[in-house]
Amino acid sequence: MSEFPPINAKLPVIWYGADYNPDQWLDRPDILAEDIRLMKEAGCNVLSVGIFAWSRLEPKEGVYCFDWLDRIFDSFEANGLYINLATPSAAYPLWLAEKHPEIVRVDAHRRRLRGRTRDNYCWTSPAYRKEVGRMDAELARRYAHRQNLVLWHVGNEYGGECHCELCQNAFRNYLKNRYNDSLDAVNKAWWTSFSSHLFTDWSQIESPSPVGESSIHGLNLDWRRFVTWQACQFIENELNSIRLFSANVPTTTNLTLGPDLDPYKIGSLFDVTSWDSYPTYHSPVGNIEVAEHQALLSDLTRAIKPNRPFLLMESTPSITHSQWAKLKRPGMHQVASLLMTALGSDSVMHFQWRKGRGGLEKFHGAIIGHDGDSRPRTFQEVKALGKTLQGLSDVVGSLVQPQAAVVFDWENRWALEDARCLTGSRSYWFDFVHPHHKAFFELGVATDVISQDMPVDSYKLISAPVLYLVKPGVAEKLKKFVRNGGTLILTFWSGIVDDSDLCYLGGAPGPLRELAGIWVEEIDTLYREDTNALRPCSGNALHLVGSFPVKTYCEVIHAEGAEVLAAYESDYYAGLPALTVNKYGKGKVYYLAANADAAFLNPFYARIALEAQIPFAVDGILPPGLIAKRRHANGTDFLFLLNFEHEPKSFDFGSERWIKLESHEVLSGTHSIPPYGAFVLKKVSS
Ligand SMILES: [Zn+2]
């Protein structure tokens, strides 16, 4: 009944498990045996093994110690447990760094780091690529045909950058290729006439540095592109090495979605996308806000590989070691995990199975603590969630199929960081993208989160907040999308620079000006304490009424064919347009000139989604704190109702009849969803 086959046909259920580090407990066979018993009790079916285990797999050069991993495969197989086998490239053994000192990263200050094995290797070093390829191939040759191998976990949380001489030379070669061997083209693209920066020899070009050059924005942007490109080359080497012996087992890597590497490019290299989610629930910002952050990053991870599920690869059952966060209150782990499933994840995986006795992560939340006991609340909640997920096998392979998308683009993110006074301490994703995505999230409108490079033809509605950097061809793609009937939402501070971070001439929003039907004369950047307001014009087509606060950014714009829907209330630009709509072909472009909050964005997006005939997860208004999401599979609808608050929420199914997947109870009419409770339902066909 699925629309996409299971990630691996050997395991056609929701995958449930954790990172497992038996390599830290090899002198405790009693604990390894107890692990198996407890994994079965918790309802686990797959564990990620070997992520940082190189020094246990090869303690000396060429001396392989696979016996312990063989025993793990054997004992798992005997107990019906599956393995997501990691390559150990994220942490090299010390003997390897002693033999090849050049594999160790050099930081932006040009200091070669010392002693640290984890996340500390050079992307470029031929020696490290060769050694990683050798180890990956050895693992693939030995384990590819094991009955219980279901996935390759390649690397771990790829990230960071290296500024060594190997990387500097590779960067120069990357630039020669990008600019057709023309240093003149580099100088033009980077505007190096600024402050006497003309490059007269390729050797003068270096990566950005706090003790060197950081004021050439085109250089900064190309460096970050290069780092992602070089990481992709590194990863391709890993994938090719695995596929020498294991062509049929799918691959993934656990994305962190941090700013350093472009996740759209990294994730697209793999068969399945996955990410690590570490929310801070019960914080003052509110659970819905936190849940929406997780949803945004899940919508992104899923959209990298359209029309297939993704995997939640890591989550904590209690706390993390790296941030101050309360313990998840009773029930929160279940509803937070089911949110990931609702958004298209076919797994709930944890970090970590068992707390180690020492090292960085000894206090990071785990299913098994230092007491080794199954009685604590954490274990019992994990066990209950395992039972719930066992009832959700029908959901496996079902799809989210959004008709709306929000653009969250990494090259735009990098360029915005350099806009200095016009971004300040504000974060592209937190201050600009997130409020727009949150409006969709709370409305129950499914969204993909996409880069500006990705296809848009499958959507009816696209929101592209603060699309500051517009790459060649993007404006034309968006024009075609709107001309064919799509609805596009643009905001202030869009169409400002090209893909070299050079400002467009001829007036903002640059290549989007004709599409938006407006001209931006100037942008006012308010202090944090300041507010203005936008007031919808009477009789506006969206039927918006009232006064809505705006803050931080207010563009002074003029309509050039667009219809004015709302105007500023105060300051010298009072009465000038703050919201416009431009009819273009069969579609429409809305331009929001000021930074509005949820008070405006929620009704704004609700009206636009209705107008664009975008489906909502449920009819009617959801009570605050209750989230609704849907997945679909070959004519079957699944509905997730998730209560993120500490009070029960009432929901009226009306005359529709839904089956609770876990209990097979048939629901219609009004029901109460308990605090931190979740209903996962399948629609009864009428
Ligand atoms: Zn390097």
pLDDT in tens, 340-368: 999 999 999 999 999 999 999 999 999 99
DSSP 352: -
State mean pLDDT over 381-399: 97
Task: Report the pLDDT value the prediction gives residue 592, as an integer from 0 to 100.
Answer: 98
Long-range contacts of range 536-542, CB-CB < 8 Å, 24 or more positions apart?
A: 536/565, 536/566, 536/579, 537/564, 537/565, 537/566, 537/567, 540/565, 540/566, 541/565, 541/581, 542/604, 542/607, 542/608, 542/611
For 193-212, write each residue's pLDDT tens digit.
Answer: 999 999 999 999 999 999 99
State mean pLDDT over 65-84: 98
State mean pLDDT over 558-577: 98
For 570-607, write each residue's pLDDT tens digit.
Answer: 999 999 999 999 999 999 999 999 999 999 999 999 99
Give the closest residue to 75 by CA, choosing from 41, 29, 43, 144: 29
Catalytic residue flag (residue 314) = yes
State mean pLDDT over 429-434: 90
CA dihedral 357→359→364→370, nearest 10 degrees, is 10
Distance 164 CA to ligand 1 centre (A): 4
State mean pLDDT over 536-554: 96
What b-and-e string marks burial along 614-651, b requiring 16 or more CB atoms within 10 Å of the CB?
A: bbbbbeeebeebbbbbbbebeebbbbbbbbbbeeebeb
Using DSSP bridges, classify how beta strands 626-633 and 658-660 pair: parallel, antiparallel or unpaired.
unpaired
Among the options 157, 238, 381, 411, which is catalytic?
157
Distance 63 CA to ligand 1 centre (A): 27
Homologous superfamily of the 404-611 domain (CATH)? Class I glutamine amidotransferase (GATase) domain (3.40.50.880)
State mean pLDDT over 6-21: 98
Task: Name the percent of the chain lying above pLDDT 70.
Answer: 99
pLDDT band at 89 (very low <50, low <70, confident <90, very high): very high
Distance 104 CA to ligand 1 centre (A): 7
pLDDT band at 427 (very low <50, low <70, confident <90, very high): confident
State mean pLDDT over 524-528: 91
Task: Report the pLDDT value the prediction gives residue 420, as an integer from 0 to 100.
Answer: 73
Amino acid type, 654: G
Task: Report the pLDDT value the prediction gives residue 423, as an integer from 0 to 100.
Answer: 66
Distance 136 CA to ligand 1 centre (A): 21
Among the options 58, 314, 381, 555, which is catalytic?
314
pLDDT band at 2 (very low <50, low <70, confident <90, very high): low
Mean pLDDT (the chain, rounded):
96
Domain boundaries, given as residue ranges, for the chain: 15-161+223-395, 165-220, 404-611, 626-683
Homologous superfamily of the 626-683 domain (CATH)? Golgi alpha-mannosidase II (2.60.40.1180)
Distance 558 CA to ligand 1 centre (A): 49
Which regions of 437-482 does DSSP assign to beta strands (E)? 447-450, 461-464
Catalytic residue flag (residue 157) = yes
pLDDT band at 325 (very low <50, low <70, confident <90, very high): confident
Residue 41 has pLDDT above 70, yes or no: yes
Residue 314 has pLDDT above 60, yes or no: yes
Distance 108 CA to ligand 1 centre (A): 11
DSSP 113: P
Least confident among 32-36, 336-340, 681-685: 681-685
Helix (H) or strand (E) holding 178: helix 165-178
Strand partners, 518: 559
Residue 425 has pLDDT above 80, yes or no: no
Task: Report the pLDDT value the prediction gives residue 426, as an integer from 0 to 100.
Answer: 75
Residue 1 has pLDDT above 50, yes or no: no
Fold topology of 15-161+223-395: TIM Barrel (3.20.20)
Distance 228 CA to ligand 1 centre (A): 13
Distance 678 CA to ligand 1 centre (A): 48
Distance 222 CA to ligand 1 centre (A): 16
Structure tokens at 531: 């507010």
Residue 686 has pLDDT above 70, yes or no: no
